[in-house]
Amino acid sequence: MIKVFPNFEELNLFAAEKFVEIANKAVEEKNRFTVALAGGSTPKSLYQMLSSGDFKNRIDWTRVFFFFGDERNVSPDSEESNFRMAKENLFTPLQIADENILRWQTEIENAEIIAVNYELTIWKFFDDNDESIVSIDDSDFPRFDLILLGLGADGHTASLFPFTDALNEKEKITNANVVEKLHTTRLTLTFPVINNARNVIFLVKGADKAETLQTILQGKFQPEKYPAQTVKLNDGDLFWLIERQAAQFLK
């Protein structure tokens, strides 16, 4: 589904309703809901909406288990931390229990170790809770109920940046991805686990994304240059929720 909204508030309202719908369906079917959160500025408003007003009372938050699609290799207390943003705007207002939050342990500092540890954390959760694990090309991947994604003006999503090694990972579910243009290493889930999700929601706003978005959705397939083009779910629902300015070049 590709849906364009006249403003960011209406986009967030639709996203919040879809979040509630997917969460409650998962809780009804399995007694729990697994979601991998996006970082950055775009989903912040969604988290604030979910943790206030009517929305906060429409989900049994004790049944929700939070993961992160990517993370910066910084302290959990850093202003750049995706975990800190989610904590301030979602976890603390909703009083989410620590055991329901499964994050990248960035206090370790070594990115490779953080990535390996997070992969083990995810596998342990899915194994212990009898969550679905799907075999693809002889490799097993966990199946999240929902993964939230953003889009960068360069076409990256999560921390899967153009022309980086993580784009070609076929077996592991996490990666310590060296991003030379940013002079850093980012921590990210990989495309096999993203594409194995039951639902993926892109949240896209801003005129600076418009040209790239048009190419991703309607242009030539160039996944090394525009990594978000690789998001094609194996057996799930993909939602592109786009604010009007970001959609201005779509045909």
Q: Which domain holds residue 70?
A: 2-247
The 10s digit of each residue's pLDDT in 94-106 is 999 999 999 999 9
Query: pLDDT of 35-62, one tens digit each?
Result: 999 998 889 999 999 999 899 999 999 9
Report which residue type is found at 236: G
Distance of alpha carbon 208 from alpha carbon 225, whole angstroms: 17
What average pLDDT does this structure show over 23-38?
A: 97
Task: Tally the domains of the chain.
Answer: 1
**Which residues, including other chains, have CB under 8 Å from residue 236's CB and lie 6 or more apart?**
196, 197, 198, 199, 200
pTM score, two decimals?
0.96
For residue 194, the number of C-alpha atoms closer than 13 Å in the C-beta half-sphere is 32
CATH number of the domain residue 55 falls in: 3.40.50.1360
> What integer pLDDT is reported at residue 136 of this predicted model?
55
